[in-house]
Amino acid sequence: MLNRPQHNWSLSDRSTSGSDRPDGTPSPRMLMLFVVMTLPLLGIAGRLCLLQVHLQTDYVAPFSHTRGVIEELPAREGRILAADGTVLADDLPIYDLLMHYRWFEEPVDRSWLRRKAWERLSRSERRQSTAVVAAEQQVLVERQKLWSDLAELCGRSPHELANVTREIQIRVERIFEAVSARRAAAQATSIATVSTTSQDSAWLTWWNQVTAELSQPPERHSDEPLVIQEQEEYHVIWSHVAEDVATTIAAHPERFPGVKVRTHSSRVYPQRDLAAHILGARTPRRSDESVGASESRDGE
């Protein structure tokens, strides 16, 4: 091995010519090795500085446009009684029936159907096409049975359930089309930019490509499926269902997959305005009250 520590007497018996001659100046090779190892680290450090200094606003801005969802938490305020036991105020529970969008979407989404089928199969069975097809058919049968069982439990016709879900699907499809149109417009703008830069010289095109790779997030390909949040959420199909219906669905989730019950309460006053000056009244918050509350918080 060249450049290893050794005594001069060990070199006296060897010829100093040829490949056995030790290299007395390893500095150029060490310098080259240092440069090769340092350049990638400098590129990473430059990328971090670029993200922290110049692109920080671009990455932080999307968080200010997040979509907020209000979810009510059931909370009972309790019953208020008069001295003689008369109920002055009470909470009336209200049960809403929600179903996942994929369970009533028509036609059924193939990717969702494949995922539900894979959940029923082992890893080895997922490689068998016959087993996957059989599992998909089982999911479709359960999906159809869910509709009939749910309509029978609620005392309504399957046609009425189909009308409600069709209205929800039309609304979701409109949102999907709007998002898809914005995505197509963004892709068209990106293609136009690429075609403009392709007319530049080779060195300038190469430099722009390197700069874009280091300073911009990766672009989405057009073949990636578009999925919006409304397609993965639960939607209200019936409101104010009976308590026994809500109890049955909550007690048998295996019979009603993709269905859940949302519980909230409404404040009722059986004696109407009796002792209203003491009890007060809880009414739905108006839009002007919401705006005023937000403005007061902003002013603080």
Question: Which of the pair, 187 or 294, is modelled with greater confidence?
Answer: 187
Q: Which of 185-189, 247-251, 264-268 has the highest mean pLDDT?
A: 247-251
Residue closest to 90 by CA, chosen among 270, 295, 292: 270
pTM of this structure: 0.64
Average pLDDT, integer, range 5-22: 52
Asked whether residue 49 is assigned to any structural domain, the reply reads no
Mean pLDDT of the chain: 80
Question: Which of the pair, 69 or 238, is modelled with greater confidence?
Answer: 238
pLDDT at 263: 87
Domain that holds residue 158: 80-219+233-279
Asked whether residue 125 is assigned to any structural domain, the reply reads yes
Q: What span, in angstroms and rounded, lies between the C-alpha atoms of 247 and 263?
A: 11
Average pLDDT, integer, range 104-132: 93
pLDDT at 291: 45
Asked whether residue 275 is assigned to any structural domain, the reply reads yes
- Asked if 261 contacts 95 with a C-beta cutoff of 8 angstroms, the reply is yes
pLDDT at 280: 65
Burial track 174-196 (b if 16+ CB lie within 10 A, e otherwise): eebeeeeeeeeeeeeeeeeeeee
- Asked if 225 contacts 80 with a C-beta cutoff of 8 angstroms, the reply is no
Asked whether residue 268 is assigned to any structural domain, the reply reads yes
Average pLDDT, integer, range 253-264: 91
pLDDT-derived band of residue 292, with 50, 70 and 90 as boundaries?
Answer: very low
The least confident of 51-60, 144-153, 257-266 is 51-60
Asked whether residue 24 is assigned to any structural domain, the reply reads no
What secondary structure letter does DSSP report for 120?
T
Considering the chain, what percentage of its residues have pLDDT values greater than 70? 74
Beta-carbon count within 10 A of 34 CB: 10
pLDDT at 95: 92
Find all residues with CB under 8 Å of 84, minimum gap 6, and list them.
none
Residue 116 has pLDDT above 90, yes or no: yes
Asked whether residue 114 is assigned to any structural domain, the reply reads yes
Average pLDDT, integer, range 263-273: 81
Residue 69 has pLDDT above 80, yes or no: no
Q: What span, in angstroms and rounded, lies between the C-alpha atoms of 269 and 285?
A: 18
Using DSSP, state whether 88 is helix, strand or coil.
Answer: strand
Residue closest to 151 by CA, chosen among 86, 83, 238: 238
- Asked if 240 contacts 96 with a C-beta cutoff of 8 angstroms, the reply is yes
User: Which helix (DSSP H) or strand (DSSP E) does residue 90 occupy?
Assistant: strand 87-100
Beta-carbon count within 10 A of 128 CB: 13
Question: Which of the pair, 273 or 97, is modelled with greater confidence?
Answer: 97
Residue 194 has pLDDT above 60, yes or no: no
The least confident of 90-94, 102-106, 276-280 is 276-280
Residue 31 has pLDDT above 90, yes or no: no
Considering the chain, what percentage of its residues have pLDDT values greater than 90? 39
pLDDT-derived band of residue 300, with 50, 70 and 90 as boundaries?
Answer: very low
User: Max CA-CA distance within the chain?
Assistant: 120
The reply to whether omega before 107 is within 30° of 0 (cis) is yes
Counting the structural domains of the chain, the total is 1
